[in-house]
Amino acid sequence: MSIFHGERLLFTPASLEADPIPTIFAFPNEYSVGITSLGYQIVWATLAMRSDLLVSRMFTDIGETLPLNPELLGFSFSWELDYVNILNLLASLNIPLQGKKRDISQPLVFGGGPVLTANPEPFADFFDLILLGDGENLLDDFIDAYQEVRGAQRQVKLRHLAQVPGIYVPSLYEVSYHSLTGDIKSIQPLDKTIPATVQKQTYRGNILSASTVVTEKAAWENIYMVEVVRSCPEMCRFCLASYLTLPFRSASLEAALIPAIEKGLKVTDRIGLLGASVTQHPEFECLLDYLSRPEYDHVRLSIASVRTNTVTEKLAATLAKRDTRSVTIAVESGSEKLRQIVNKKLQNEEIIRAVINAKIGGLKGIKFYGMVGIPGEDEGDLEATVKMMQDVKKAAPGLRLTFGCSTFVPKSHTPFQWFGVKREGEKRLKWLAKQMRSHGIEFRPESYNWSVIQGLISRGDRRLSQLLELTRYYGDTVGSYKRAFKELRGQLPELDYYVYSDWKTDQVLPWSHLKGPLPQETLIKHLEEATSYFKS
């Protein structure tokens, strides 16, 4: 029996009209991972509800029956290292990896998702077109525009699609450099018929996403996901999830959240509330009251990361009663100075109050997220983090404490995009690990080497495409990337340029022609506010 037979659909696929567009929509990972992605679910359902599309899904381990001659091949791209799987899936379909080598007999390869919306340039050679931003309106605009040129030559299609707001066709833009290994000189459209810039698309409605399929084969078994908020009002200066997705939007309680939850509970008893700052929904207390009703006593509730000062006894008690044992809060650091630098509006007293409330409410643990290598950090800031966790442990004895820690990585469209990864990060992770464990606190560091790779891709330009093709064969280790850089020496900048260098605010960035929610002038202002705290 096919793995797809266990799916319970919460939408009705369209009845197909004559001659529908044969389309493959892929997720570059295993089915259990891909089907847990709410973004993938929503895009698939949106396409499948169009009568002019015949959509087949494809994963790295399984797929539906694929059309012999697909016209469109799409990828939902959520995790940077999945680019290897994208290249492998293209090869398995006998499609040239580079867009410039494809002809009229091959499908247009399109992509979307957080990785490509943040910075598509390292992958520019592999995609014919990229959808930047929210898909609610963009997807239908894309398919409608494609229908208008369906029978045309490949270049005619691409030029037509490039006129749609939010659709970026990399091959129609020329990047020039001061030298082969130097900064970008300019990014220009090939001619005046192509838009000089592409604006990320933002959906501004108050009905957000909810699962379109529930299955026991998902990584989160039988979960029904509801998007409570989109973006985050806190605007921590390193945070892509906040800056790139502005403005902060919340789903209507009556028109969206309650109907969505009721729909989901008809097929499962497990609900996941998603969003970068779920508990900052303006009606979150009312949502909590709704979920606390006796008829929902059987429901298992999961919640994404919550803001520290919203961890009340009521929230903890509701979650504990709904089979949640811990909550996750991002504190970044125990240092007041660093929290001012990153714009984390949080006091240590609030953290102490949150853990006390969590314990009183019946939760068994709290997972903290922190970071090393924040610009302006020194050894005293690390000591402050250890001291904070000691105080937390003392305030709530018996509560299981976990401290997850990553290394700062610069992200496009944020005020910290000009900073490089700090070389001291690896040493500081090891120091923190030793200190935390000596105080009986579980410490879960993220790989420093993964931060290096992330930094490379995060700030990469399209010269990296040839490097990424090489690393496909070498493996996903830092050593593989260094080997590829060595092989391509003289053809692009060194690893240090992309990862460790602090960039100038007046240089052309790889994504300068791709417009996020805020203009560069605003990001620079936020950067200056951050650096004003460096000496304090």
Q: Domain-by-domain residue ranges, the chain?
A: 3-199, 222-459+503-531
Q: Quick one: which of 412, 451, 417 has its CA closest to 244?
A: 412
CA distances to 12, 23, 273 from 44, in Å:
12, 11, 20
pLDDT recorded at residue 305: 79
Q: Is residue 173 helix, strand or coil?
A: strand
At residue 175, what are phi and psi to the nearest 5 degrees?
-105, 125
Instruction: Look up tokens 């580079």; give the residue.
Output: 98
| pLDDT score, position 304 | 84
Please list the ranges in the chain whose pLDDT falls under 50. 1
- Looking at residue 249, its pLDDT comes to 96
User: CA 123 → CA 6, 70, 130, 189, 360, distances in Å?
Assistant: 34, 22, 10, 18, 49
What pTM was estimated for this model as a whole? 0.96
CA 138 to CA 113: how far, in whole Å?
12
The burial class, CB within 10 Å (0-12 / 13-18 / 19+), for 286 is middle
Superfamily for the 222-459+503-531 domain: tm_1862 like domain (3.80.30.20)
| CA-wise closest residue to 405 among 354, 379, 363, 441 | 441
Distance of alpha carbon 242 from alpha carbon 233, whole angstroms: 7
One-letter identity of residue 433: A
Q: Burial level of 456, CB count in 10 A (0-12/13-18/19+)?
A: buried
Kindly list the distances between the CA atom of residue 389 and the CA atoms of 209, 372, 383, in Å, as whole numbers in the listed order: 36, 15, 10
Amino acid (one-letter) located at 157? K
The CA-to-CA distance between both ends of the chain, in Å, stands at 64
Residue with tokens 């464990």: 437
DSSP per residue, 129-141: EEE-B-HHHHHHH
pLDDT at position 536: 58
Q: Strand 326-332 and strand 365-372: pairing?
A: parallel
**Three-state SS at 215:** coil
- The per-residue pLDDT for 5 is 82
Pairing mode of beta strands 400-407, 442-445: parallel
pLDDT of residue 283: 96
- Answer whether 3-199 and 222-459+503-531 agree in fold: no
For 467, how many CA atoms within 13 A lie in the half-sphere containing its CB? 30
pLDDT in tens, 19-66: 999 999 999 999 999 999 999 999 999 999 999 999 999 999 999 999
Distance (Å) of CA 56 to CA 11, 214, 233, 274: 16, 18, 37, 27
Q: What is the DSSP string of 324-372?
A: --EEEEEEE-S-HHHHHHHT----HHHHHHHHHHHHHHT--EEEEEEEE
Which CATH code for domain 3-199? 3.40.50
Residue 3: predicted pLDDT: 77
Q: List the one residue out of 455, 366, 373 whose CA is nearest residue 406.
A: 373
